[in-house]
């Protein structure tokens, strides 16, 4: 269910194939990517429609030692936008 206040559209990530190895494939473009463990977890959570705050909570629960996790998640979403994996969303 798309939530309009997310800074990304989970639907855009639906076709993305994520592997536990960190190997990611975008069948729409044929590009593949490599992510670290937190990157992979963030992507998976984004696919599930979690908002950035919920993703940060999840990362804190699954990994130890995170400090400014919210900023890191925001930076990651920017990076996905830079890579063309998510598009900028116009404000509702």
Partner 1 sequence: MADRIYERPAIVRNTFGAMNKVGRRGDLSNHAEIDGVSIDALCKEFGSPLFVFSERRLRARVREAREAFARRYPSTTMCWSYKTNYLDAICAVMHQEGSIAEVVSGMEYDKARRLGMPGDKIVFNGPAKTETELRRAVAERAIIHADHLEEIYLLEKIAAETGATPTVGVRVSLDAGIYPRWDRFGLGLENGQAMQAVKRIARGGKLALGGLHTHIGTFVLEPAAYGRAAAKLADFATEIEKSMGVRPTHVDLGGGFASTNTLATQYHAGAIAPGIGDYAEAITSALIAGASGTGTLPRLFIETGRALIDEAGTLLTSVVATKRLSTGKRAIVIDAGVNLLFTAWWYRLNIAPARSAEAFVEDTAVYGPLCMNIDCIRESVPLPDLRPGERLAIHPVGAYTVTQSMQFINLRPAVVMINEQGTPELIRRAEVLEDLTGPEVLPERLKLGATTSGATPALKIAREG
Partner 2 sequence: MSVLRVAVSGMHLGENCQPGPGVVRSLREALGDRVHVVGLAYDVFDSGLHADGLLDDAFMVPYPSAGPAAYLERLSQIRELVGLDVLIPCLDVELPVIQRIAGALAERGIHTVMPSTEALARRTKDQLPALAAALGIATPRTITVTDAAGLAAAGAELGYPLVVKGPFYEAEVTHGAAEAQAAFGKLAARWGLPLLAQQFVKGEEFDVIALGDGQGGVHGAVAMRKTVITKLGKAWGAMTIHDDELLAVATKVISALRWRGGCEVEMLRAPDGTPYLIEVNPRFPAWVYLATAAGTNLPQGLVELALGRPVPKYPPYRAGVFYVRHAVEACGELADLESLMAYGRTRRPTLASLPELIANG
* Site residues (vs partner 1, CB under 8 A): 22, 24, 31-39, 41-43, 59-66, 69, 72-73, 75-76, 78-80, 82-83, 85
CA distance 83 to 78: 9
Burial class of 85 by CB neighbour count within 10 A (0 to 12, 13 to 18, 19+): buried
Residue 34 binds partner 2 (CB under 8 A): yes
Complex with partner 1: residue 43 or 50, whichever CB lies closer: 43
What is the distance between the terminal CA atoms of the chain, rounded to a whole angstrom? 16
Residue 20 binds partner 2 (CB under 8 A): yes
- Contacting positions for partner 2 (CB under 8 A): 14, 17-23, 25, 27, 32, 34
């Amino acid at each position: 269910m798309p939530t309009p206040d997310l800074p990304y559209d989970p639907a855009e990530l639906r076709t993305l194939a994520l592997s536990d190895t960190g190997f990611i494939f975008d069948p729409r473009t044929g590009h593949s990517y490599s992510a670290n463990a937190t990157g992979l977890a963030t992507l998976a959570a984004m696919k599930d429609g979690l908002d950035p705050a919920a993703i940060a909570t999840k990362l804190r629960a699954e990994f130890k030692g995170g400090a400014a996790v919210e900023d890191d998640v925001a930076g990651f979403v920017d990076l996905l936008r830079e890579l063309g994996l998510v598009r900028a969303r116009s404000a509702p």
